[in-house]
Amino acid sequence: MRRIEMLKAREILRLKHDIGLSLREIGSTCRCGKTTVGEVLDRAEKVGVTWPITQNDKQLMSLLYPPVERTGLPPEPDMQHIYHEMKKKNVTLLLLWEEYKAQHAQGIMYTQFCQRYKDFKQQNNVSMHKEHKAGEEMEVDWAGSTMGYYDRITECEKKAYLFVAVLPASSYPFVRAYADTQTPSWLDAHVRAFTYYGGVARILIPDNCRTAISKADRIDPVVNKSYHELARHYGITIVAARPYKPKDKAADEGMVKIVSQRIIARLRNRQFFSLEEVNAAISEELAVLIERPFQKMQGNRKTAFILIDQPALQPLPKQAYEYADWKERRVPFNYHVDYEK
């Protein structure tokens, strides 16, 4: 039976108990069927509501129409599990719904399933970003902020430049400081990142820095030759971010900000006397960062990496890449080729 307004319910009880009208007469007066009148009176009698009524409308509503206890409902889909599964290659919502229905034949339908997933992403602030598949991408860049250390040999202050890499699917970072941002440092940072992760992603997404891209172009950028050799050695594809399109590697842009706030800022008052000391301190703060719990999701970056990215990474080659510096030179008549004077 549908609920009626509490004003009308009060009038039904008044006409019955105070005036003594019949069900038909009450129905005619209140403009409702006598069946409805009888239902209201039966409900009131069962819960002990009589005229005059002492309850307010909200209390009367809860007495006449108590919430129905729904039993036997199928369990709700585990959206945390579905969110992690969606990061795996070739996994779709339709597939996950079919697996859910195989376990719960009376479960919710596909449209409701998709709506639950959409609501979950909105609640966790993950609705407006690119969906990253597990082990597919590694985004890399130099942090805009630097750290300082005192070189006792030269007796002067020097800058330490931070290389930042991240696996977007699990938001798992790698950070290391270098004395410069030249090609040998850039390539060494990649090799160390691969070793740190224990595997290799399928796609590298760098910025358009000179150590990565020798000729920037929106359509067909030219990759630095040494960088190309590193990619071939590890079986990786390089897809450079488009110029002035930070969203092409939004995960690394966000991680650079986090590293600046959680590592560089925390170490701002410490004095270092070598690059090794800087990297030791960075490793300590990085360990704290990756074990810091997520604010709106279960686990942390380390557990997410173990669950999502680690199983999907390609294995490392038997030997690490060794840096080679490529120069084009014309061979003179005496067959002696000049290199770095």
Tell me, what CATH number does 259's domain have? Answer: 3.30.420.10
In a shared domain, residues 107 and 18: no
In a shared domain, residues 187 and 111: no
Asked if 24 contacts 4 with a C-beta cutoff of 8 angstroms, the reply is no
In a shared domain, residues 300 and 168: yes
Q: Which of residues 258 and 219 earns the better pLDDT score?
A: 258
Indicate the pLDDT class of residue 70, thresholds 50, 70 and 90.
Answer: low
In a shared domain, residues 232 and 281: yes
In a shared domain, residues 36 and 178: no
In a shared domain, residues 237 and 113: no
d(CA 191, CA 319): 11
The pLDDT of residue 285: 92
Q: Please state which of the ranges 69-78, 195-204, 290-299 shows the lowest mean pLDDT.
A: 69-78
In a shared domain, residues 42 and 118: no
Range of the structural domain that residue 106 is part of:
79-123
As beta bridge partners, residue 237 has 203
Q: What is the CATH number of the domain that holds 15?
A: 1.10.10
Per-residue pLDDT tens digits for 190-245: 999 999 999 999 988 888 777 777 776 666 677 888 888 888 999 998 888 777 66
- pLDDT over threshold 80, residue 185: yes
- pLDDT over threshold 90, residue 127: no
> For residue 179, what are the contacts with CB-CB under 8 A and spacing of at least 6?
158, 159, 160, 161, 185, 275
Query: Is position 71 within any domain?
Result: no
> For residue 272, what are the contacts with CB-CB under 8 A and spacing of at least 6?
147, 148, 149, 150, 160, 278, 281
In a shared domain, residues 45 and 119: no
Query: Is position 1 within any domain?
Result: no
Asked if 185 contacts 163 with a C-beta cutoff of 8 angstroms, the reply is yes
In a shared domain, residues 183 and 207: yes
Measured CA distances, 52 to 41, 47, 62, 319 (Å): 14, 14, 17, 90
Query: For helices 57-64 and 6-14, what crossing angle results, to 10°?
Result: 80
Measured CA distances, 219 to 140, 203, 205, 215, 296 (Å): 20, 17, 15, 11, 38
Predicted structure pTM score: 0.62
In the listed set 36, 64, 92, which residue is the last one of a domain according to the structure? 64
Indicate the pLDDT class of residue 61, thresholds 50, 70 and 90.
Answer: confident
Query: Is position 60 within any domain?
Result: yes
d(CA 287, CA 241): 28
Query: Is position 302 within any domain?
Result: yes
Supply the mean pLDDT for the chain.
84
In a shared domain, residues 46 and 90: no
Query: Is position 317 within any domain?
Result: no
Query: Is position 229 within any domain?
Result: yes
Chain centroid, CA 213 distance in Å: 29
Question: Which residue type is seen at 44?
Answer: A
Indicate the pLDDT class of residue 257, thresholds 50, 70 and 90.
Answer: confident
Radius of gyration of the chain (CA): 34
Structural domains counted in the chain: 3
Query: Is position 338 within any domain?
Result: no
Determine the average pLDDT of the residues in 47-62.
83
In the listed set 64, 87, 103, which residue is the last one of a domain according to the structure? 64
In a shared domain, residues 104 and 232: no
| Largest pairwise CA distance in the chain | 126
- pLDDT over threshold 50, residue 288: yes
Indicate the pLDDT class of residue 254, thresholds 50, 70 and 90.
Answer: confident
In a shared domain, residues 206 and 104: no
Query: Is position 321 within any domain?
Result: no
DSSP SS3 for 265 = coil
- pLDDT over threshold 90, residue 299: no
